[in-house]
Structure formats: C-alpha cells, structure tokens
C-alpha cells in the first residue's frame, strides 16, 4: 500500500467502519475524530454502549457529590479505558473545552462531571471512556485501504440518533443503503 505523506485534517469528521478486518470492537463502528494531525489521530466511538453493570461500577468510583447519574456510558475506544471524555453541545465551555466542530465540543475535566451531577450539564452530551488512536499516517492508510469511510459529522447524528442506527444513518449521508452494502471490499 502506498505511504501517505500529506493529508487534509479530518478532525470533526465521522469515520464509518466498512471492513470486518478491524475485529469485533470496530464492527459497524462510527468514530468522531476529535484530533487529526500529521503525527496522530484520535477519536471516540459513538455507538458502543457499556453494559449497565460496568457503567454503574464507573459511576460508583467517581469522587463526585451528588452522585453522577447518566443513562449510558460509551466505550469511546480500546485505548486508555481509565480516561473519560465528554462530547457535548457547544453552549457549555470551560478554558479546557476543545471545539471539535462548530456544533460539537469536547471537555475532559473533572469539572464537567461535577457540573453534570449538579444539573449544570450541557444540553446534549455523551460520556465516553477510552478512545481510538492512530499513529502518523496509519489512519490515512486505513482509509486508502477501504477500512473506513470519512463522512461529515452532524450534531444530530452524534447526540440524537439511537446508537443502533448511527452506522446506517452515517452511511446514508453518502446515499449508501446499509441494507444493500457489502462489508467485503474487492480490489479492481
């Protein structure tokens, strides 16, 4: 496969998994790229909820009063499962907030968890643990190898679409019918 040396940043784009070679975790995954430079890429998987007992275990370990309650915690990826991140709507801002797109922000501080517990939460948010990560040029090579399709991120798809529909709805933004889509890519 040719080496990628120069590429436009994909920060703020969604990656839609189209290969089964990625393994079970990334099967039908939708990843929001929160950072993408020539040195690395990072993102959060948006459609892999943790089991309720795991969610409760995480919430019970947080040193927050009043106790934080959220209906779902998402497994943002297989890397650094002890690290949390909150994707959220942009009306909530701290000095540590990073704007991923105009409509999607990222905050990775204890303060946002405290604010959520105190009912000062952003209007829309996803609590993720772990993340996906790629080394320099790895993501670009995976895209060229037909492992991922990048699509435009939409705040409604990120925050509102049920997780079971995110993969097919992300493909639909490219006019691809997920019911007719084959996960087996060929080489011409």
- Indicate whether 108 belongs to any domain: no
Q: Do 102 and 111 contact (CB within 8 A), yes or no? A: no
Residue 185 lies in a domain: no
CA 111 to each of CA 43, 65, 120: distance values in angstroms, whole numbers, following the listed order? 21, 12, 10
Q: Which residues of the chain have pLDDT under 70?
A: 1-7, 20-23, 178-188
Assign residue 173 the CATH number of its domain.
3.40.1740.10
Element (H, E) at 139: helix 138-144
pTM for this entry: 0.89
Identify the H or E element spanning 142: helix 138-144
- Quick check: is 152 in a domain? yes
- Asked if residue 4 is part of any domain, the answer here is no
Report pLDDT for 25: 84
HSE value, Cβ hemisphere, 13 Å, CA-based, for 152: 8
- Quick check: is 122 in a domain? no
For residue 110, give both structure tokens: 């204890």
Query: What are the residues whose beta carbons fall under 8 Å from the beta carbon of 65, sequence distance 6 or more?
Result: 117
Tell me whether residue 40 is in a domain.
yes
Tally of domains within the chain = 1
> Would residue 106 count as lying in a domain?
no
Helix (H) or strand (E) holding 152: strand 148-152
Establish if 95 belongs to a structural domain.
Answer: no
Q: What is the pLDDT of residues 24-36, one digit of tens each?
A: 789 899 999 999 9
Range of the domain at 172: 13-84+128-180
């Amino acid at each position: 496969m040719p080496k990628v040396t120069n590429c436009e940043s994909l920060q703020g784009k969604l990656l839609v998994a189209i290969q089964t070679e990625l393994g079970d975790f990334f099967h039908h995954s939708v990843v929001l790229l929160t950072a993408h430079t020539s040195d690395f890429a990072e993102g959060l998987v948006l459609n892999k909820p943790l089991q309720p007992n795991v969610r409760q275990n995480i919430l019970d370990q947080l040193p927050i009063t009043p106790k934080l309650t959220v209906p779902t915690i998402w497994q943002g990826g297989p890397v650094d499962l002890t690290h949390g991140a909150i994707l959220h709507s942009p009306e909530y801002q701290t000095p540590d907030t990073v704007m991923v797109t105009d409509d999607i922000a990222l905050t990775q501080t204890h303060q946002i968890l405290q604010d959520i517990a105190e009912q000062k939460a952003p209007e829309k948010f996803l609590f993720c643990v772990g993340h996906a990560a790629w080394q320099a040029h790895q993501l670009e090579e995976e895209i060229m190898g037909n492992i991922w399709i990048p699509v435009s991120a939409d705040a409604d798809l990120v925050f509102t679409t049920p997780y079971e529909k995110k993969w097919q709805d992300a493909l639909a933004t490219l006019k691809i019918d997920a019911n007719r889509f084959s996960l087996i890519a060929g080489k011409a």
